[in-house]
Amino acid sequence: MLFGRSKRKPIKIPEKKVQEWKYTTCNYCSVGCSIEIGLDADKKIVTTRGHAGADVNRGKLCIKGLLEHELFTSPGRGTEPLIRERYFDKFEKTTWDHALDTTASKIKEIQAKYGRDSFAVVSTGQLMTEEFYTLGKLTRGCIGTNNYDGNTTLCMASAVSGYKRSFGSDGPPGCYDDFEHTHCLMAFGSNLPEQHPIIYWRLKEALEKRKFPLIVIDPRVTMLAQFADIHLPITPSTDCVLINSMMHVIFKEGLHDEAYINAHTQGVEELKALVADYDPKIAQHACGIDEDTIRNVARIYAKAPAAMSIWTMGINQSTHGSDGVANINNLNLVTGNIGKPGGTSLSITGQCNAMGTREWSSCSGLPGYRALENEHHRKEIADFWGIDPEFFPKKRGLAQTDIFPAIETGEIKGLWLVATNPMTSMPNLPRIRKALEKLDFLVVQDVYEDVETNQYSHVYFPAAVWAEKQGCHTNTERRVNLISNVLPPYANSKPDFWIFNQMAKRFENGKVIHFPEDTEEAFEEMKHLSAGADRTLDISGMTYEKIIAGRGIQWPFRKGSEGVKGDPRLYTDGKFQTPSGKANLIPIRFINNNEQPCNDYPFWLNSGRVVEHFHTRTRTGKIGNCNKFSPTPYMEMNPDAAHELGIMHQTYVRLTSRRGDAVVMVQLTQRVPRNMVFIPFHFHDCVNRLTLGLLDPYSRQPAFKQCSVRIERIEAANQAEAARINFESRNF
């Protein structure tokens, strides 16, 4: 008699008949996996696989990378430029010349009437670095508006701000290899298995080789929290209290690294004075973690020979985002955990090339981490581009989150959105909708013409995607990797690089500034601008060939560097990018300024990513298996809270906040505490109808994760109608 497996037929995966593999890099998240695209005998793309020789992913991919080849021909791709007089008219197809001419003349008309800054540009973290550099040239050097930002303000601005305040410069100082060396890892608001699956796999592999404590700080029992040795279910947005209290214990018990603090930091006395107020006995009441646990984790962290912190949106998307990052840096500086193997402050970045936009797009400054506020930097770039330095503003303009209120007040009249979808991604969507309707002129440049924000545009530019172009990305650990051009752009879409170059020709300075014809030449310009002994962001030793040979190279990689490996860590010599060369210890006092649960709105609303989807689902929502595994807007709710309200598993409920309402399906789970609900942020008419999005004062990043809602049961007779509303908020 046959039992079990021997009776079953093995699963057969259909033969893909791959004839050739082409090297490229994933275009979704910031992990930066190396991918090979498989082409059949007819040069048709049939599959993707992880590159086995790549340091980052060692042959592995998550579900998004495995199915990435399906996005080239997925529904909704833009085929031709579109134009219309008013946003509610019907779009007409037009030529590229007409679309570009109309846009250029509208920009000039608005600027002539209302001033240069009345036209704003909002970019993304999705383009190639060379495209960011070129967009920066166009926006800063030709159009000349100071209201220019990236959607990275929604995800990484607090990390940038915190790094600059602590270390004098942006740039994550650590790398994935630190998992192999650390003796303690503390993860703040970072759910690696769903957000960054391949980094999680790297961490798990390191833990299998050598056990070390994993401490997870998150109000929700995330997948990472389930694997943790210690989970701290913290009260939302009180990380600063917890860290201050840990430092209180560390100083009081003499566990700090006195030698490192004296040699490489400044401000320790002010920091000590502040954290003296954060005795765990008192702090426990604010952060919701009991005093013994605070002491325990402080001792584990400080006594570890090397300890590291990672964080993601749980820290950044908060009114204390920048402070949270600076305080994590404080913790690592006082314990001597910066710039050594296994000892670091590593922000896990969001979008595939959020780092590239930080480095080269000129959104918040000038190329190569240069500052608009620095006269020498303005002159350096103006001389290189061949324009008058006075053309540049002397300080940064509005962030993305301030651009929309400026539309409301009439300060901004025109807007160009590049690969960003604020009608799904911004908090308080009812307000964003009204702002977009108020614009005199909106141009949307995107791979997909059915992206929600395009409903409000006057001109649409169809853009090429991923391996339809060539250029670089920089990942979370400062690794520059290459996307090869594997196939031509879809229909009459064009690479963003081409679109920026063509637009530049329509402006006066576009005739003065050199705009290279191909991305490799733009990369050479960036290399030139990066070279310098005092610069951490130095890519002058890289070439496209070397990048492919190394499967990505970490910066700094200076001219004359041997081989194909860059520096894995920054600040190994304890010298920082501040004027004194010492890192700043910054006292962070906690101010409780978020919207809180109350009688009318008794639940915290938390949001985040699920593994199958990326951002606003413009791509993953159309890829069969990504969508199939997570098709519906849902809400995690604690069974005890549901029982009190008479709410059943898998029924529909209405959520209401002070901004709006949304209909979601209930998933009962102990992952969330009794006074909190969690909703994935990817779906269109859903969580951001409810969010408030108060802004961090330094980074201007919104607090997506801290607002309050109430939950209303929908009667059985109305469940079918609720299901229809819920279905429509999927966007397609």
Give the HSE-up count for residue 646: Cα atoms under 13 Å, Cβ half-sphere.
5
> Is 480 among the residues that bind ligand SF4 (CB under 6 A)?
no
Q: Of the ranges 61-69, 123-131, 222-230, 299-307, which one interacts with ligand SF4 (CB under 6 A)?
A: 61-69
When the beta carbons of 32 and 495 are compared against ligand SF4, the nearer one is: 32
Alpha helices in 304-386 (DSSP H): 313-316, 321-334, 354-360, 375-385
CB of 244 to ligand SF4, least distance (A): 33
Element (H, E) at 711: strand 707-713
CB of 28 to ligand SF4, least distance (A): 4
Contact 253, 334 (CB under 8 A): no
From 64, 164, 469, 700, residue interacting with ligand SF4 (rule: CB under 6 A): 64
Q: Of the ranges 55-63, 333-341, 549-557, 622-630, which one interacts with ligand SF4 (CB under 6 A)?
A: 55-63
Residues forming beta bridges with residue 187, ordered by sequence position: 216, 310
When the beta carbons of 31 and 302 are compared against ligand SF4, the nearer one is: 31
Closest-by-Cβ residue to ligand SF4 is: 65
CB of 32 to ligand SF4, least distance (A): 6
- Rounded CA-CA distance 263/346 in Å is 22
> Which of positions 344-363 make contact with ligand SF4 (CB under 6 A)?
none
**DSSP letters spanning 127-178:** S-HHHHHHHHIIIIIII--S-EEEGGGGTTHHHHHHHHHHHSS-S----GGG
| Closest residue by Cα to residue 69 from 614, 462, 467 | 467
- Rounded CA-CA distance 595/525 in Å is 46
Q: Cα-flanking dihedrals φ and ψ of residue 448, to 5°?
A: -110, 130
CB of 472 to ligand SF4, least distance (A): 14
When the beta carbons of 31 and 439 are compared against ligand SF4, the nearer one is: 31
Q: Which is it for strands 34-39 and 45-50: parallel, antiparallel or unpaired?
A: antiparallel
When the beta carbons of 61 and 709 are compared against ligand SF4, the nearer one is: 61
Report the amino acid identity of residue 377. Answer: H
**DSSP letters spanning 261-293:** HHHHEE-HHHHHHHHTT--HHHHHHHHS--HHH
When the beta carbons of 81 and 552 are compared against ligand SF4, the nearer one is: 552
> Which of positions 408-437 make contact with ligand SF4 (CB under 6 A)?
none
User: What order of strands is seen across the sheet that includes strand 20-25?
Assistant: 20-25, 34-39, 45-50
Q: What character string, x for contact with ligand SF4 (CB under 6 A) and - otherwise, covers 26-45?
A: x-xx-xxx------------
Tracing tokens 């962070």 back to the chain, one arrives at 588
CB of 207 to ligand SF4, least distance (A): 18
| Closest residue by Cα to residue 25 from 380, 494, 553 | 553
CB of 60 to ligand SF4, least distance (A): 8
CB of 566 to ligand SF4, least distance (A): 19
Q: Cα-flanking dihedrals φ and ψ of residue 75, to 5°?
A: -60, 150
Contact 461, 502 (CB under 8 A): no
CB of 66 to ligand SF4, least distance (A): 7
When the beta carbons of 349 and 400 are compared against ligand SF4, the nearer one is: 349
Q: Angle at Cα 192 formed by Cα 191 and Cα 194, nearest 5°?
A: 80
When the beta carbons of 197 and 541 are compared against ligand SF4, the nearer one is: 197
When the beta carbons of 236 and 621 are compared against ligand SF4, the nearer one is: 621
- Please state the three-class secondary structure of 619-674 as a single string: CHHHCHHHHHHCCCCEEEECHHHHHHHCCCCCCEEEEECCCCEEEEEEEECCCCCC
Token reading at 166: 């602590």
CB of 33 to ligand SF4, least distance (A): 3
Length, in residues, of the chain = 732
CB of 56 to ligand SF4, least distance (A): 8
CB of 380 to ligand SF4, least distance (A): 34
- Rounded CA-CA distance 176/673 in Å is 31
When the beta carbons of 28 and 392 are compared against ligand SF4, the nearer one is: 28
Q: Which is it for strands 184-188 and 307-311: parallel, antiparallel or unpaired?
A: parallel
CB of 200 to ligand SF4, least distance (A): 9
From 51, 54, 55, 65, residue interacting with ligand SF4 (rule: CB under 6 A): 65
| Closest residue by Cα to residue 183 from 229, 217, 214 | 214
From 62, 232, 642, 676, residue interacting with ligand SF4 (rule: CB under 6 A): 62
Residues forming beta bridges with residue 415, ordered by sequence position: 120, 442
CB of 304 to ligand SF4, least distance (A): 27
Q: What character string, x for contact with ligand SF4 (CB under 6 A) and - otherwise, covers 186-215?
A: ----------xxx-----------------
Q: What character string, x for contact with ligand SF4 (CB under 6 A) and - otherwise, covers 243-282?
A: ----------------------------------------
CB of 67 to ligand SF4, least distance (A): 10
Q: Of the ranges 25-33, 282-290, 376-384, 494-502, which one interacts with ligand SF4 (CB under 6 A)?
A: 25-33
Residues forming beta bridges with residue 540, ordered by sequence position: none
When the beta carbons of 83 and 480 are compared against ligand SF4, the nearer one is: 480
Q: Of the ranges 22-30, 76-84, 330-338, 339-347, which one interacts with ligand SF4 (CB under 6 A)?
A: 22-30
When the beta carbons of 320 and 358 are compared against ligand SF4, the nearer one is: 358
Contact 607, 616 (CB under 8 A): no
CB of 46 to ligand SF4, least distance (A): 18
CB of 361 to ligand SF4, least distance (A): 20
When the beta carbons of 29 and 294 are compared against ligand SF4, the nearer one is: 29
Element (H, E) at 423: helix 422-425
When the beta carbons of 176 and 523 are compared against ligand SF4, the nearer one is: 176
CB of 205 to ligand SF4, least distance (A): 14
From 37, 39, 45, 61, residue interacting with ligand SF4 (rule: CB under 6 A): 61
- Rounded CA-CA distance 536/555 in Å is 7
When the beta carbons of 121 and 352 are compared against ligand SF4, the nearer one is: 352
Contact 490, 444 (CB under 8 A): no
Report the amino acid identity of residue 537. Answer: L
When the beta carbons of 27 and 708 are compared against ligand SF4, the nearer one is: 27
Long-range contacts of 405-410 (CB under 8 A, 24+ apart): 405/435, 406/120, 406/147, 407/435, 407/436, 407/438, 407/439, 408/434, 408/435, 408/438
When the beta carbons of 196 and 615 are compared against ligand SF4, the nearer one is: 196
When the beta carbons of 61 and 268 are compared against ligand SF4, the nearer one is: 61
CB of 480 to ligand SF4, least distance (A): 14
Q: Which is it for strands 414-418 and 119-123: parallel, antiparallel or unpaired?
A: parallel
Q: Of the ranges 58-66, 96-104, 166-174, 597-605, which one interacts with ligand SF4 (CB under 6 A)?
A: 58-66
Is the preceding peptide bond at 10 cis, omega within 30 degrees of 0?
A: no
Size of site (CB under 6 A) for ligand SF4:
14
When the beta carbons of 348 and 686 are compared against ligand SF4, the nearer one is: 348
Tracing tokens 């979808």 back to the chain, one arrives at 421
Binding site for ligand SF4 (CB under 6 A): 26, 28-29, 31-33, 57, 61-62, 64-65, 196-198
